[in-house]
């Protein structure tokens, strides 16, 4: 570690479990951080992928794996600042006759972008758990992919100009679609927010929570989202930075965990993780390689199977293991 601190630009979103690092109340050893706030954080995804704009950045894990397979000079740390399961969130038209995932074959399903991590994880569930042949679904998208080199499979098509996924869902052109920022009814849609859309269309799995608990117990897979990555050049010049970052974010999380036991929770994020504790245990945001191996391997495998990555990659190729320092 050098005598002088290394200046690093850090674009990680504000969460109850990252705020202490962002505010500076928890320091990153050897680092003079320039903390950046990018709203929404998805804006930072593209700026990092396309311009390598930040030294350290929170990134969607599928976007990262795609970029890594294409040789982008970034490397990930096993710090996952967002988690959720994906048996819920795929909405179906009630009259479309979609009773099981196999019924989606031969039909059109809307998702914001083919590589959006929510869609990738949900397809993993549909493929591995319910036998869906994803290649037989026409996945309809209305946004560009973060990684511009990505070549989409032939069963992925774009919406017509001026027509949104929400429009297509309302008109019956789609039999199903993802809610929220992953698809129909996302913020800014001409038909309103996803809550309005969700009120009109039932979820594919009304018993999603029960299915998610069984899935986790059987597979150990706990889908991750926000993943912290860094420039390879930063890591090569200062490899100790990986452990400093891991230690700081881990400490912030440890200090946050007891707050989940408070009788009243105001933050929606905290409420979500209290519910997830009922499935995954006391730590709803596990960091590190070992505790996340089934999840990392599952996403790497499904990203390749879904035609998103150019090659298979080992855990060591994808992640620095700061616990080994």
Look at residue 193 in the predicted model and tell me its pLDDT: 45
Whether residue 33 contacts residue 8, with contact meaning beta carbons closer than 8 Å, is answered with: yes
**Residue 10, helix vs strand vs coil:** strand
Q: What percent of the chain has pLDDT over 90?
A: 85
Q: Please indicate, yes or no, if residue 298 is contained in any of the structural domains.
A: yes
Domain with residue 231: its CATH number is: 3.40.190.10
Pair 180, 130 in one domain: yes
Tell me the average pLDDT across 70-95. Answer: 96
Q: Please indicate, yes or no, if residue 1 is contained in any of the structural domains.
A: no
Pair 212, 258 in one domain: no
Span 275-293, pLDDT tens digits: 999 999 999 999 999 999 9
Pair 201, 228 in one domain: no
Tokens in use for 103? 């019924």
Pair 94, 75 in one domain: no
Tokens in use for 270? 């905290």
Look at residue 320 in the predicted model and tell me its pLDDT: 97
Residue 310 has pLDDT above 70, yes or no: yes
Tell me the average pLDDT across 201-229. Answer: 96
Pair 14, 78 in one domain: yes
Look at residue 178 in the predicted model and tell me its pLDDT: 93
Pair 295, 309 in one domain: yes
Residue 199 has pLDDT above 70, yes or no: no
Residue 184 — very low, low, confident or very high, per pLDDT cuts 50/70/90? confident
Instruction: Report the DSSP beta bridge partners of residue 108.
Output: 138
Pair 102, 202 in one domain: yes
Where is the domain boundary, 216, 247, 275?
A: 216
Where is the domain boundary, 216, 240, 268?
A: 216
Pair 95, 74 in one domain: no
Residue 251 has pLDDT above 80, yes or no: yes
Tell me the average pLDDT across 160-169. Answer: 91
Tell me the average pLDDT across 168-190. Answer: 76
Q: Please indicate, yes or no, if residue 271 is contained in any of the structural domains.
A: yes
Q: Please indicate, yes or no, if residue 150 is contained in any of the structural domains.
A: yes
Tokens in use for 118? 């929510």
Q: Please indicate, yes or no, if residue 19 is contained in any of the structural domains.
A: yes
Contact residues for 169 (Cβ-Cβ < 8 A; gap 6+): 91, 93, 110, 177, 184, 185, 197, 201
Look at residue 189 in the predicted model and tell me its pLDDT: 44
Q: Please indicate, yes or no, if residue 49 is contained in any of the structural domains.
A: yes
Domain with residue 167: its CATH number is: 3.40.190
Pair 207, 107 in one domain: yes
Residue 263 — very low, low, confident or very high, per pLDDT cuts 50/70/90? confident
Length reported for the chain: 325
Angle at 196 between CA 203 and CA 118, to 5 degrees: 50
Expressed in angstroms, the distance from the first to the final Cα of the chain is 13
- CA 50 to chain CA mean position, Å: 18
Pair 209, 95 in one domain: yes
* Domain count for the chain: 2
Strand residue runs (E) in the chain: 6-11, 31-35, 56-59, 74-80, 90-92, 108-110, 138-141, 156-158, 176-178, 227-231
**Residue 68, helix vs strand vs coil:** helix
Residue 191 has pLDDT above 80, yes or no: no
CA dihedral 212, 213, 219, 222 (to 10 degrees): 70
Looking at per-residue pLDDT, the higher value among 203 and 186 belongs to 203
Tokens in use for 213? 């608990």
Tokens in use for 125? 């569930």
Pair 211, 271 in one domain: no
Range of the domain at 69: 6-83+222-324
Pair 199, 228 in one domain: no
Residues 75, 133: Cα–Cα separation, whole Å: 32
Where is the domain boundary, 176, 195, 216?
A: 216
Whether residue 61 contacts residue 117, with contact meaning beta carbons closer than 8 Å, is answered with: yes
Look at residue 217 in the predicted model and tell me its pLDDT: 98
């Amino acid at each position: 570690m050098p005598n002088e601190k290394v200046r690093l630009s850090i674009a990680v979103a504000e969460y109850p479990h990252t705020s202490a690092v962002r505010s500076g109340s928890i320091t990153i050893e050897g680092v003079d951080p320039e903390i950046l706030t990018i709203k929404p954080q998805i804006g930072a995804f593209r700026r990092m992928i396309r311009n390598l704009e930040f030294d350290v950045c929170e990134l969607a894990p599928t976007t990262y794996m795609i970029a890594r397979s294409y040789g982008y000079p970034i490397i990930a740390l096993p710090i996952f600042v967002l988690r959720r399961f994906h048996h819920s969130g795929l909405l179906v038209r009630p009259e479309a006759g979609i009773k099981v995932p196999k019924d989606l074959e031969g039909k059109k399903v809307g998702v914001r972008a083919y590589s959006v991590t929510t869609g990738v994880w949900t397809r993993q569930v549909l493929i591995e758990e319910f036998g869906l042949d994803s290649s037989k679904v026409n996945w309809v998208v209305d946004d560009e992919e973060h990684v511009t080199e990505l070549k989409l499979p032939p069963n992925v098509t774009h919406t017509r100009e001026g027509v949104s996924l929400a429009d297509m869902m309302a008109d019956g052109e789609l039999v199903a679609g993802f809610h929220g920022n992953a698809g129909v009814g996302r913020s800014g849609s001409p038909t309103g927010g996803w809550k309005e859309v969700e009120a009109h269309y039932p979820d594919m799995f009304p018993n999603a929570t029960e299915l998610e608990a069984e899935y986790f117990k059987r597979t150990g897979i706990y889908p991750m989202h926000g993943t912290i990555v860094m420039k390879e050049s930063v890591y090569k010049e200062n490899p100790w930075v990986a452990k400093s970052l891991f230690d700081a974010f881990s400490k912030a999380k440890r200090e946050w965990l007891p707050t989940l036991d408070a009788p009243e929770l105001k933050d929606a994020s905290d409420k979500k993780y209290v519910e997830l504790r009922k499935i995954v245990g006391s730590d709803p945001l596990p960091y590190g390689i070992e505790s996340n191996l089934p999840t990392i391997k599952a996403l790497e495998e499904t990203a390749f199977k879904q035609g998103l990555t150019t090659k298979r990659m080992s855990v060591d190729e994808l992640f620095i293991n700061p616990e080994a320092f």
